[in-house]
Chains A and B, each alone.
Chain A
Amino acid sequence: MNFRRIQTVFVKELVDILRDVRTLAAMIIVPLVLYPAIMIGGLQAVSTTTQAVEGERIIVGVEPREAWDAVVVPLLDAERRFLNQRAEAERDRVDDSTTASTGDAPPPVARRPVADQVFLSERSPGESLDDAVRQRHVHCGIVVQGAGWRTGNTADPVRIKLKYQPEDLRSEYAAGRLTEAFELVSDVQLDKRLRLLNIDRDFIEPIRIEREQLSTPGSVLGLILPLVLVLMTITGAIYPAIDLTAGERERGTLESLMACPVPVIELIVGKFLVVSTIAIVGAALNLASVTATVYFGGIEQALSGAASDGAQGFPIRALPVILLSLIPFAVFVSALMIAVCCCGRTFKEAQNYVTPLIIAVIVLGGIGSLPGARLAGVLVVMPVANMVLLTRELLSGVSVGPTVFAWVLTSTSLYAVAAVVMAAQVFGRESVVFADNVSFIALFRRRMFVPCDRPTVTAVGIYAVILFPVWFHIQGWLQLDAERDMGGVFRGTAVLMPILFGLIPMAFLIWRRVDLTATFQLRRPAGAALLGGILIGASAWVLAHSVLVWQSQWFGGVPADAEDAAKRAIASMPLWFVGLVLALVPALSEELFFRGFLLSGLRSSMRPTPAILIAAIAFGLFHFLAIRMVTTVALGLLFGWIAWRTWSIWPGVAAHICHNAILAILLVRPEWLRAIAPADDAAAAAHLPVQTTAGAMVMLGLGIILVARSRRREMPAPEAVRAGSTRRGSM
């Protein structure tokens, strides 16, 4: 990749886009004006409405009607009386303390009696109290129950039920005010009765509960701000992404650009960097604007309420971290936008394609905004949702572990890389550059694809990147019930593995009209190669065991508990079942995926050595066991070499089945190990006898020679594939 050319594209596109008023408006004016306007305006509107409601009349309906005069009015009058008494007592106390000291504590604000505001509404005939509240004819319905108020029997207490609509601010306020009033009267009466009986209130109220809200501006903002930031970042990226891709086509400049001796990936990277820069600057401005509004707009106190004591203020220290985490997100969004917009032939068409993407982002962001959502499990790698959650946690002052933080950033960065590569593939496609005669949907119809031998590196790479977190979480999900039912783990793996590693890639290849035989290397192998594979598989485990033992001396081994649980579970299973779920299914699925789908895709654009190496590293990573990484990668290299050398997947499948089967059998029948290993208990952790290791090495050597000398069938060179224009890789 030529970075100077990328810089040229970057500078040109940046100058071009910044000369457009619309970009500047979306990038600068929206965050700088919108936030203060929305936040200050919104808060003022809420405050004004609340104040207006506080002064308004409270219209109530009472059931039964006679309870209004008999119960409600006396209770409201009692509240007025108690409040007046309390205010007078308070004034006296303040006067006394003022004369006694020069203390400057302000007198508490007296509560206004609710009786001044409450009015009875006569309901229409036939209208129930519930309907009156629902239809908002009254703010609150008061149902008075119990017989005591009619009979004067104080042993039969008055029961009051308030009916209101919480989503109606006036109704909510009315119910709140009436509750306060009735509770005050009830409290005073209770105190009086207790005094008559000479009982201390604490005696009948052994536990007193108080609730204190510890909201901070950060935690309040954390409920809504992350999604807003995410949406604003996307908003900033939309226009440049469309202008730099579909706009290029609409203006008629794309053809001239494609005629330049510049690889498409360099053009796309240059354009993508511009969109990313604008999205990042937009995100930073959004964040700065929010912070400034919260600080200088006097919103901090309004957001934090009673807890605004300075120490719990807006988490300014979290802002650089939030910005840092927004950068990969902005990069990811930009790449996604570029990839989607590349498919559009006109500005309008690209806008249509962006709309579902925004809806998807809102849905994913909404998942992250759910009140109970936590940054854990699958949400850590769920695009958009993970960023919303991370920002929320940081704003709320919740500490985020470095592993989780790394997972969020890594997964987002991986999605970004996949999206950029995908964009390069789409941007350069002839059907997109010159799609004058076909619709966008038609581009995805199967018959529009040219038959080809292998999938592209992009297609297999994107699938592998998606499969990695999916498989990781499926494994985690299967393990949830492992202690109780280890068989369930194996059964789940045996069903899901062939689907994810074999059937879905196969369906993709059929759709794209890619040759299955060539991609999965399903050709019949030479007999010698097959025998070589079996010998390699039957001996490689001995060397892998030695490496593990050697490694465990330095780095420790697999946790004994985990291994013992697995061993116990496996030992109780029938041998055929163990062979099926531990040997046959994983071997076949993994060979189809890693040595078929992935290796063929990698070989479409790289030489054998790096392709085999990358496929082997992927094979190692997909086992999610750091301690076995070295041996798994080594086995991946060996199997990859066999597949490349024999141009067939079957010798590798044979090797893989033998390898897995032997390990599985030794787990089920540990006594068989003693035939070839020392009979002490530490057998599994110790090196095997020298003669066993030497025998295995001879077998391995023989197997390698057989594979190497078997009738070799050359794979077509990638150059040849590319040159034959009718057999090019698709996508």
Chain B
Amino acid sequence: MTMIAVDNLTKVFPTPDGRGKSAVHGVSFRVDKGEIYGLLGPNGAGKTTTLRIISGLMSPTSGSAVLSGYNVFDRPQEVKRSIGFLTANTGLYQRLSPRDILRYFAELHGMDRKRAIERSERLIEWLDMTDFADLRCGALSTGQRQRTNIGRALIADPPILIMDEPTLGLDVLSNRMILDFIRRERSVGKTIVLSTHYLDEAEGMCDRVGLLHNGRIIADGTLDELRKCAGTDRLSSIFLTLIHERQSVGFPAA
């Protein structure tokens, strides 16, 4: 069952010189239920812009994205209800505690006070946040902040998770914990799209990947399919081979 269908997405940012800057060009991919789809690419490849568009935060210049059966441009609120979006930066309200934040976002998602408290407490337990749940966020470490952010993204128990660089800047222990958590979410049937530029990390976790370079998807498929296509095993090698191939055949830059 297709949960996410992205077709020919293009985003051109207006620039003061009037020429426009193309960030995403003709991006298309599909993600089925219970699947982890990795959107991989170097910095500036267009991963964040793609994720912002499919989360309803940004409008595309052209193309479409359907999540849980809703077109994100016609029904952005319905789409937002069915996704949990983890942004790339770990910004939190400095004067609130993780517990305050989880309850706030639960209520913003329409839960009543009792349900908001129940759900927050469950996530505090799952994400092992008990020790710092009542500290002000200004005093938390990066790992603790990221766990709070993941809790916030999951607060409404959405069927789709969109995660932008979920392990960016984390230490080994926090990294492991977050990745385990993502796998656990997949095991309960969640559809997950994540972006990362850590290719090794994606290799061990994603069911399918889309390699994004200069705003275009240069390859899309399971790891085995990509290995066959590139004739090499490791994802980083596959990525470099495909970029080299595209450049040698004059693949236009975005």
Q: Give the B-binding residues of A (Cβ under 8 A).
A: 5, 8-9, 12, 15-16, 19-20, 251-253, 255-263, 430-431, 433-434, 437-439, 442, 445, 447-450, 719, 722-723, 725-726, 728
Q: Are the CB atoms of A263 and B77 closer together than 8 Å?
A: yes
Give which listed residue, B57, B74, B91, contacts A253 with CB less than 8 A. B91
Give which listed residue, A8, A259, A449, A725, contacts B61 with CB less than 8 A. A725
Q: Which residue of A lies closest to B76 (CB)?
A: A261
Q: How far is the CA of A62 from the CA of B104 in the complex (A)?
A: 80
Q: Write the nearest CB–CB distance from B130 to chain A, whole angstroms.
A: 22
Q: Write the nearest CB–CB distance from B103 to chain A, whole angstroms.
A: 9
Among all A-B residue pairs, the 10 with the closest Cβ atoms: A252-B91, A259-B85, A252-B89, A261-B80, A19-B95, A447-B18, A725-B59, A8-B107, A261-B81, A255-B87
Q: Are the CB atoms of B73 and A723 closer together than 8 Å?
A: yes
Give which listed residue, B57, B77, B78, B94, contacts A251 with CB less than 8 A. B94
Q: How far is the CA of A16 from the CA of B95 in the complex (A)?
A: 6
Contacts A438-B16, A450-B14, A726-B61; is A253 near B92 (CB within 8 Å)? yes
Q: Give the A-binding residues of B (Cβ under 8 A).
A: 13-16, 18, 21, 52, 55-62, 71, 73-74, 77-78, 80-81, 83, 85, 87, 89-96, 100, 104-105, 107-110, 149, 152-153
Q: How far is the CA of A478 from the CA of B84 in the complex (A)?
A: 60
Q: How far is the CA of A20 from the CA of B138 in the complex (A)?
A: 12
Q: How far is the CA of A420 from the CA of B208 in the complex (A)?
A: 45
Q: How far is the CA of A426 from the CA of B244 in the complex (A)?
A: 43
Q: How far is the CA of A722 from the CA of B72 in the complex (A)?
A: 12
Q: Write the nearest CB–CB distance from B225 to chain A, whole angstroms.
A: 32
Please name all residues of chain B whose beta carbon is closer than 8 Å to the beta carbon of A263 when the two chains form the complex: 77
Contacts A16-B95, A253-B93, A261-B81; is A723 near B52 (CB within 8 Å)? no
Contacts A252-B90, A261-B109; is A15 near B21 (CB within 8 Å)? no
Q: Are the CB atoms of A723 and B74 closer together than 8 Å?
A: yes
Q: How far is the CA of A223 from the CA of B180 in the complex (A)?
A: 69
Besides the known contacts A255-B85, A725-B60, 6 further A-B residue pairs in the complex with CB atoms under 8 A apart: A8-B104, A16-B93, A20-B95, A256-B87, A261-B80, A447-B18
Please name all residues of chain A whose beta carbon is closer than 8 Å to the beta carbon of B14 when the two chains form the complex: 431, 438, 447-450
Give which listed residue, A15, A20, A261, contacts B77 with CB less than 8 A. A261
Please name all residues of chain B whose beta carbon is closer than 8 Å to the beta carbon of A726 when the two chains form the complex: 61-62
Q: Write the nearest CB–CB distance from B125 to chain A, whole angstroms.
A: 22
Q: Are the CB atoms of B87 and A12 closer together than 8 Å?
A: no
Please name all residues of chain B whose beta carbon is closer than 8 Å to the beta carbon of A9 when the two chains form the complex: 108
Contacts A15-B96, A261-B110; is A434 near B52 (CB within 8 Å)? yes
Give which listed residue, A5, A15, A251, contacts B107 with CB less than 8 A. A5
Q: Write the nearest CB–CB distance from B230 to chain A, whole angstroms.
A: 33
Q: How far is the CA of A719 from the CA of B59 in the complex (A)?
A: 15
Q: Which residue of A lies closest to B19 (CB)?
A: A447
Q: Write the nearest CB–CB distance from A438 to chain B, whole angstroms.
A: 7
Q: How far is the CA of A15 from the CA of B77 in the complex (A)?
A: 27
Q: Which residue of A lies closest to B59 (CB)?
A: A725
Give which listed residue, A258, A430, A725, contacts B73 with CB less than 8 A. A725
Q: Are the CB atoms of A259 and B95 closer together than 8 Å?
A: no
Please name all residues of chain A whose beta carbon is closer than 8 Å to the beta carbon of B81 when the two chains form the complex: 261
Q: Are the CB atoms of A259 and B87 closer together than 8 Å?
A: yes
Interface of A is mostly: helix
Q: Which residue of A lies closest to B112 (CB)?
A: A4
Q: How far is the CA of A433 from the CA of B94 in the complex (A)?
A: 20
Q: Which residue of A lies closest to B71 (CB)?
A: A723
A-B contact pairs, 15 of them (CB 8 A): A8-B104, A19-B96, A251-B94, A252-B87, A255-B89, A256-B91, A260-B80, A261-B80, A261-B108, A261-B109, A431-B14, A438-B16, A448-B16, A723-B71, A725-B73
Please name all residues of chain A whose beta carbon is closer than 8 Å to the beta carbon of B91 when the two chains form the complex: 251-253, 255-256
Q: How far is the CA of A19 from the CA of B100 in the complex (A)?
A: 13
Contacts A253-B93, A260-B109; is A728 near B59 (CB within 8 Å)? yes
Q: How far is the CA of A260 from the CA of B94 in the complex (A)?
A: 19
Contacts A260-B108, A260-B109; is A447 near B92 (CB within 8 Å)? no
Q: Are the CB atoms of B85 and A256 closer together than 8 Å?
A: yes
Q: How far is the CA of A8 from the CA of B108 in the complex (A)?
A: 7
Give which listed residue, A19, A434, A442, A719, contacts B74 with CB less than 8 A. A719
Please name all residues of chain A whose beta carbon is closer than 8 Å to the beta carbon of B16 when the two chains form the complex: 438-439, 442, 445, 447-448
Please name all residues of chain A whose beta carbon is closer than 8 Å to the beta carbon of B73 when the two chains form the complex: 722-723, 725
Q: Are the CB atoms of A256 and B96 closer together than 8 Å?
A: no
Q: How far is the CA of A723 from the CA of B72 in the complex (A)?
A: 9
Please name all residues of chain A whose beta carbon is closer than 8 Å to the beta carbon of B152 when the two chains form the complex: 256
Contacts A8-B104, A261-B77; is A251 near B61 (CB within 8 Å)? no
Q: How far is the CA of A191 from the CA of B95 in the complex (A)?
A: 81
Q: How far is the CA of A12 from the CA of B81 in the complex (A)?
A: 20
Contacts A252-B89, A430-B59; is A260 near B21 (CB within 8 Å)? no
Please name all residues of chain B whose beta carbon is closer than 8 Å to the beta carbon of A719 when the two chains form the complex: 74
Give which listed residue, A19, A437, A447, contacts B13 with CB less than 8 A. A437
Q: How far is the CA of A439 from the CA of B100 in the complex (A)?
A: 34
Q: How far is the CA of A430 from the CA of B14 in the complex (A)?
A: 11
Q: Are the CB atoms of A438 and B15 closer together than 8 Å?
A: yes
Q: How far is the CA of A586 from the CA of B75 in the complex (A)?
A: 42
Give which listed residue, B13, B18, B108, contacts A5 with CB less than 8 A. B108
Q: Which residue of A lies closest to B49 (CB)?
A: A434
Most B C-beta atoms less than 10 A away, residue of A12, A448, A722? A12
Please name all residues of chain A whose beta carbon is closer than 8 Å to the beta carbon of B15 when the two chains form the complex: 437-438
Most B C-beta atoms less than 10 A away, residue of A253, A442, A450? A253
Q: How far is the CA of A259 from the CA of B91 in the complex (A)?
A: 14
Contacts A252-B91, A434-B58; is A15 near B85 (CB within 8 Å)? no
Q: How far is the CA of A458 from the CA of B110 in the complex (A)?
A: 27
Q: How far is the CA of A428 from the CA of B189 in the complex (A)?
A: 33
Q: How far is the CA of A16 from the CA of B92 in the complex (A)?
A: 12
Please name all residues of chain B whose beta carbon is closer than 8 Å to the beta carbon of A5 when the two chains form the complex: 107-108, 110
Please name all residues of chain B whose beta carbon is closer than 8 Å to the beta carbon of A255 when the two chains form the complex: 52, 57, 85, 87, 89, 91
Q: Write the nearest CB–CB distance from B173 to chain A, whole angstroms.
A: 23
Please name all residues of chain A whose beta carbon is closer than 8 Å to the beta carbon of B95 when the two chains form the complex: 16, 19-20
Please name all residues of chain A whose beta carbon is closer than 8 Å to the beta carbon of B109 when the two chains form the complex: 260-261
Q: Write the nearest CB–CB distance from A253 to chain B, whole angstroms.
A: 5
Q: Write the nearest CB–CB distance from B37 to chain A, whole angstroms.
A: 18
Q: Are the CB atoms of A259 and B100 closer together than 8 Å?
A: no
Q: Are the CB atoms of A430 and B93 closer together than 8 Å?
A: no
Most B C-beta atoms less than 10 A away, residue of A258, A448, A450, A726? A258
Q: Write the nearest CB–CB distance from B145 to chain A, whole angstroms.
A: 10
Q: How far is the CA of A257 from the CA of B149 in the complex (A)?
A: 12
Q: Are the CB atoms of A256 and B108 closer together than 8 Å?
A: no
Q: Which residue of B lies closest to A262 (CB)?
A: B108
Q: How far is the CA of A449 from the CA of B104 in the complex (A)?
A: 35
Please name all residues of chain A whose beta carbon is closer than 8 Å to the beta carbon of B153 when the two chains form the complex: 256
Please name all residues of chain A whose beta carbon is closer than 8 Å to the beta carbon of B87 when the two chains form the complex: 252, 255-256, 259
Please name all residues of chain B whose beta carbon is closer than 8 Å to the beta carbon of A437 when the two chains form the complex: 13, 15, 21
Q: Write the nearest CB–CB distance from B251 to chain A, whole angstroms.
A: 24
Most B C-beta atoms less than 10 A away, residue of A5, A251, A725, A728? A725
Q: Are the CB atoms of A12 and B104 closer together than 8 Å?
A: yes
Q: How far is the CA of A324 from the CA of B77 in the complex (A)?
A: 38
Q: How far is the CA of A434 from the CA of B55 in the complex (A)?
A: 14
Q: Write the nearest CB–CB distance from A99 to chain B, whole angstroms.
A: 77
Q: How far is the CA of A255 from the CA of B89 in the complex (A)?
A: 9
Q: Write the nearest CB–CB distance from B17 to chain A, whole angstroms.
A: 8
Please name all residues of chain B whose beta carbon is closer than 8 Å to the beta carbon of A262 when the two chains form the complex: 108
